[in-house]
Structure 1
Amino acid sequence: MAVTHDEVEMEDFQYDEDSETHFYPCPCGDIFPITKEDQFMRGETVAAPSASKELVKC
């Protein structure tokens, strides 16, 4: 399995002030959002990843 990734600087992201979210377009056509951690985690419980599950590829 080949792993391909790019390092992206925060300056390359677009920023939406209303949602306080940074967005970056993926070459596959998807968009990666990055939000403030307190907004992302508010009221959520995240389980640790299972070693038997495959990560989602873009």
Structure 2
Amino acid sequence: MESIYDEIEIEDFTFDPITQLFQYPCPCGDKFAIGIDDLADGEEIAVCPSCSLMVKVIFEPEDLEEYYEQLE
């Protein structure tokens, strides 16, 4: 099983409507990232591109609605 570094609430991520990514600072200095469509598809693990750490995103599917509204 994959090792989860932490569990982070979706509200603690920053959302960029241009890239459609949720990001959260990683201890290595980079950022964990996951796409809004990945979350909508049931994915809940955000990965850091620079190290092996992963975090679980804590959210309810209806939480994504407000972020999808930012895309319009």
TM-score (norm 1): 0.52
Larger Rg: 1 or 2?
1
Structure 1 residues 5, 17: closer, same or farther in 2, change over 3 A? same
More helix by share: 2
Query: Normalised by the size of structure 2, how large is the TM-score?
Result: 0.43
User: Aligned to 1:27, what secondary structure does the other structure show?
Assistant: coil
More strand by share: 2
Between the two proteins, the alignment pairs up a number of residues equal to 38
Cα 1:4–1:33 shift into 2, 3 Å = closer
* Large movers: runs of 4+ above 2 Å: none
The residue number in structure 1 matching 2:11 is: 11
Gaps of 5+ in 2: 39-50, 54-72
RMSD: 2.0
1:30 aligned partner, one-letter code: D
Alignment gaps of 5+ in structure 1? 38-55
